[in-house]
Amino acid sequence: MDNAIKLEGLVRDFGGTRAVDGVSLQVPSGQVLGLLGPNGAGKTTVVRMLATLLVPTAGTARVGGFDVAREAARVREIIGLTGQYASVDEKLTGRENLILIGRLLGLKRRDARARADALLEDFDLRDAGQRPAQTYSGGMRRRLDLAASLVGRPRILFLDEPSTGLDPRARRDLWERVRQLQAEGTTVLLTTQYLEEADALADSIVVLDQGRVIAAGTAAELKARVGARSLHVTVIDPAAAARALEVVSRVSGQTVQADGEHLSVPAPDPALVPAVLRALDAAGIDVAEMGLRGASLDDVFLSLTGHGAPAGNAAEDAA
Ligand SMILES: Nc1ncnc2c1ncn2[C@@H]1O[C@H](COP(=O)(O)OP(=O)(O)OP(=O)(O)O)[C@@H](O)[C@H]1O
Ligand SMILES: [Mg+2]
Protein residue with least CA distance to atom 16, ligand 1: 42
pLDDT band at 309 (very low <50, low <70, confident <90, very high): low
pLDDT tens-digit series, residues 177-197: 899 999 999 999 999 988 888
More confidently predicted of 37 and 5: 5
pLDDT of 207 strictly over 60: yes
Integer-rounded Cα radius of gyration of the chain: 23
Provide the pLDDT for residue 164: 82
pLDDT-wise least confident of 92-96, 131-135, 253-257: 253-257
CA of 40 to the centre of ligand 1 (A): 5
Q: Share the mean pLDDT of the chain.
A: 89
How does residue 306 score in pLDDT terms, banded at 50, 70 and 90? low
The number of angstroms, rounded, from the C-alpha of 284 to the middle of its chain's C-alpha atoms is 42
Instruction: Supply the residue whose CA is at minimum distance from atom 24 of ligand 1.
Output: 39
Residue 313 has pLDDT above 80, yes or no: no
Nearest CA to ligand 1 atom 2: 14
Span 62-72, mean pLDDT? Answer: 97
pLDDT at 224 over 80: no
* pLDDT value of position 298: 65
The dihedrals phi and psi of 213, each to the nearest 5 degrees, come to -80, 120
Q: Which of 240, 199, 201, 244 is nearest to 222 (CA)?
A: 199
Angle between the N-to-C axes of helices 94-104 and 109-122, in degrees from 0 to 180, rounded to the nearest 10? 130
Distance CA 260, CA 72 (A): 55
Pocket of ligand 1 (CB under 6 A): 14, 17, 19, 37, 39-45, 84, 193, 313, 315-316
Higher pLDDT, residue 83 or 216: 216
Among residues of the chain, what percentage have pLDDT more than 90?
Answer: 65
Q: 3-class secondary structure for the chain?
A: CCEEEEEEEEEEEECCEEEEEEEEEEEECCCEEEEECCCCCCHHHHHHHHCCCCCCCEEEEEECCEECCCCHHHHHHHEEEECCCCCCCCCCEHHHHHHHHHHHCCCCHHHHHHHHHHHHHHCCCCCHHHCEHHHCCHHHHHHHHHHHHHCCCCCEEEEECCCCCCCHHHHHHHHHHHHHHHHCCCEEEEEECCHHHHHHHCCEEEEEECCEEEEEECHHHHHHHHCCCEEEEEECCHHHHHHHHHHHHHHHCCCCEEECCEEEEECCCCCHHHHHHHHHHHCCCCEEEEEEECCCHHHHHHHHHCCCCCCCCHHHHHC
Q: Give the Å distances, CA to CA, from 130 to 93, 106, 150, 282.
A: 6, 23, 19, 62
How far does the centroid of ligand 1 lie from the alpha carbon of residue 239, in Å?
45
Atom of ligand 1 nearest to the CA of 314: 29
**Angle, CA of 308, 312 and 314, to the nearest 5°:** 90
Nearest CA to ligand 1 atom 22: 44
Q: What is the per-residue pLDDT across 105-150, written as a single tens digit (0 to 9) for each? A: 899 999 999 999 999 998 889 999 999 999 998 888 888 999 999 9
95 by Cβ neighbours in 10 Å (0-12 / 13-18 / 19+) ranks as: buried
Instruction: Pick from 45, 48, 49, 301 the residue to mutate for probing ligand 1's pocket: most ligand atoms within 8 Å of its CB.
Output: 45
Nearest atom in ligand 1 to 319's CA: 31
Mean of the pLDDT values across residues 156-173? 88
- 316 Cα nearest atom in ligand 1: 31
Most confident region among 10-14, 33-37, 250-254 by mean pLDDT: 10-14
Residue nearest ligand 1's atom 3 by CA: 14
Q: Given pLDDT bands bounded at 50, 70 and 90, which one contains residue 222?
A: confident
The closest residue, in CA terms, to atom 11 on ligand 1 is 19
Å from CA of 44 to ligand 1 middle: 7
- pLDDT confidence band for 308 (50 / 70 / 90): low
- Determine how many CB atoms are found less than 10 A away from the CB of residue 290: 15
For 158, left (φ over 0), alpha (ψ -120 to 50), or beta?
beta
